[in-house]
């Protein structure tokens, strides 16, 4: 398992760095569309308990198309289109639920899970495109990825060596309070170094507020996906990344932290 994880990381990481650094804003948006597409399929697999999406009718497929549209709208920075797609998706999904209710009394539940998925994945992921398209977008994407990665790594090692008190045993028995605190500390240290060398213009007080926010929100994203998987009684969201599981397993913390970083970048700093 660990060998597969290392091989996948060795192959994928340089490609990701090259894509972010040299690929341009359009190619990055296309990549996020692909990530969104895979993640949405995994999400529907989880919430519909491994049944085929088609067996739930057109409602999940509508959610996937709306999600791709939201990412594209973020690329042109049209918040009106994003809001319009959210509204359109809900109205059309509601209309289809009326048709399906005659043969499936769980139609409303299908709509609820679909709307949750559209908000959870494409709406939050669209923040990545907004960050990339802004000033110093490439630097900020690397900044955010560093914070999330270091937070996760710091939490793992702090929890492994110092962990005594369970953080949320009903959801993830392996996570500890000590690991959670360690993740925040590691995030703050790595973030401070990155800010000093690459973003010296940022205010130090607000920067540490950002680091703490990422250190807190990232694990929440991880735990939220764990709740979804535990409800469906599955271990991984998929198997597209050997040794790592599914796409959602890799980006669960990133999904929750991306809007926070975008908020700080464009409206707080």
- CA dist list (Å): 239 to 112, 243, 254: 26, 8, 19
| pLDDT per residue of the chain (269 residues) written in tens, 0 to 9 | 455 566 666 777 788 889 999 899 999 999 999 999 999 999 999 998 755 555 567 889 999 999 999 999 999 999 999 999 999 999 999 998 887 666 667 778 889 999 999 999 999 999 999 999 999 999 999 999 999 999 999 998 999 899 899 999 888 888 999 999 999 999 999 999 999 999 999 999 999 999 999 999 999 999 999 999 998 888 888 777 665 678 999 999 999 999 999 999 999 99
Angle at which helices 107-118 and 24-47 cross, to 10°: 150
Give dist(CA 19, CA 14) in Å, integer: 9
CA 258 to chain centre: 7
Provide the strand spans (E) within the chain: 166-168, 172-176
The residue assigned the tokens 């990665």 is: 149
Q: How far apart are the first and last CA of the chain?
A: 42
Q: Where are the domains of the chain?
A: 25-133, 136-269
Give dist(CA 203, CA 39) in Å, integer: 35
Give dist(CA 121, CA 256) in Å, integer: 9
- Residues 35, 224, 222, 124: is their CA dihedral positive or negative? positive
Give dist(CA 143, CA 157) in Å, integer: 21
Give dist(CA 114, CA 80) in Å, integer: 21
- pTM higher than the cut 0.85: yes
Amino acid 66: pLDDT: 97
CA 116 to chain centre: 14
């Amino acid at each position: 398992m660990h060998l597969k994880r290392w091989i996948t990381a060795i192959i994928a990481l340089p490609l990701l760095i090259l894509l972010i650094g040299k690929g341009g804003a359009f190619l990055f948006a296309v990549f996020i569309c692909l990530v969104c597409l895979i993640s949405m399929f995994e999400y529907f697999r989880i919430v519909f308990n491994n049944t085929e999406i088609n067996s739930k009718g057109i409602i999940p497929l509508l959610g996937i198309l709306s999600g791709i549209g939201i990412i594209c709208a973020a690329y042109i920075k049209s918040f009106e289109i994003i809001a319009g797609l959210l509204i359109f998706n809900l109205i059309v999904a509601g209309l289809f639920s009326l048709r399906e209710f005659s043969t499936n009394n769980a139609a409303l539940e299908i709509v609820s899970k679909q709307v949750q998925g559209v908000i959870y994945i494409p709406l939050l992921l669209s923040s990545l495109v907004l960050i990339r398209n802004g000033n110093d977008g490439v630097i900020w994407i690397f900044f955010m990825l560093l914070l999330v990665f270091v937070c996760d790594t710091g939490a793992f090692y702090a929890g492994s060596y110092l962990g005594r008190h369970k953080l949320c045993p009903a959801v993830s028995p392996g996570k500890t309070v000590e690991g959670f605190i360690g993740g925040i500390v590691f995030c703050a240290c790595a973030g401070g170094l990155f800010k000093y060398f690459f973003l010296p213009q940022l205010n130090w007080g607000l920067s540490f507020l950002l680091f703490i926010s990422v250190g807190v929100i990232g694990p929440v994203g991880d735990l939220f996906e764990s709740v979804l998987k535990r409800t469906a009684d599955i271990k991984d969201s998929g198997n597209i990344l050997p040794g790592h599981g599914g796409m959602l397993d890799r980006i669960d913390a990133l999904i929750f932290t991306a809007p926070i970083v975008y908020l700080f970048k464009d409206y707080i700093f």
